[in-house]
Amino acid sequence: MDNYAYIIASLPVLHQEGTRPEHFVAEELIEEIRGQLSRADAAVLDLLLEGYDSDKLDAGFYRDALAGRGRFVRDWLRDLVDGYDADASADFYRRALAHGNRFIREWFRFDLDLRNATVAFLNDALGRPDGQDLVLLAEREAEEFPEEEAVQQVLNRADLLQRERGLDDLRWQKVDELTAMDVFDLELILGFVAKLQIIDRWLKLDPESGRELFRKLVEDIRSTYDNKKQNITI
């Protein structure tokens, strides 16, 4: 059986040498975590990471778009949505939303709604047909998207970089919501990895924002560990 409390206690961010952003390498930290998980739990972690493989809204995209390398930002955005494989994404989301792990189901339900809202916004902004490239799962009943108003406010920001930071702030908040009641379990570790993905991108895109998020992660993990360790025995 995995000792999740031990895994979290061993995270470098809980120790002095691991609290400096320049020492942060997301891939190495994720591999360290994977090495302490059972085969079944590692497979769940890999599914979470698979959800990031096709993300075109990466640091390189935004650096190039904002620098205007050869094209206007509008053309970059058009390339983004035109290159989106909705069918492949639908297959992934079907697997994720039917998964046995609660965090995986709820996280990718939120992620799907967020991505659809973003694609719909870009369709409207770029004059593309309504509904184009949305991932609509026939087996999924219409559900309320609680964060819809907040997402629309972020998407309407004029600054592209601030827009993406706002979306990542909403992702961070969702992780906190989904793991609020977890006490040293796999879900807490998955939430930690989801935050690592956000930090890794911002350290590459805007180092100051990345450092800010890194410090926040250190505070979050330390607070979580201090508040919950009394409920378990390592």
Tokens of 41: 């739990």
Q: Which of 36, 83, 74, 31 is nearest to 55 (CA)?
A: 83
pLDDT given at position 2? 60
Encode pLDDT of 112-158 as tens digits: 999 999 888 888 887 878 888 888 887 776 678 999 999 999 999 98
pTM of model > 0.85:
no
Which residues are CB-neighbours of 192 under 8 A, at least 6 positions away? 8, 11, 33, 217, 221
Q: Give me the sign of the Cα torsion angle 16, 233, 101, 111.
A: negative
Tokens of 3: 């000792």
Angle at Cα 182 formed by Cα 177 and Cα 184, nearest 5°?
135
- Each residue's pLDDT, cut to its tens digit, for the chain (234 residues) gives 468 888 877 776 555 444 566 666 788 889 989 999 999 999 999 999 999 875 544 444 445 544 544 344 555 455 555 555 666 788 899 999 999 999 999 999 999 999 999 888 888 887 878 888 888 887 776 678 999 999 999 999 988 888 889 999 999 999 999 998 877 899 999 999 999 999 988 888 888 898 899 888 888 877 776 665 655 544
Cβ neighbours, 10 Å, residue 230: 8
Distance of CA 223 to the CA centre of its chain: 21
Q: Are the C-beta atoms of residues 210 and 21 closer than 8 Å to each other?
A: yes
Which DSSP state fits 35?
A: T
Distance of CA 216 to the CA centre of its chain: 15
pLDDT given at position 4? 84
pLDDT given at position 23? 61
Residue in the structure block whose two tokens are 């053309």 = 75
Burial class (CB in 10 A: 0-12, 13-18, 19+), 151: buried
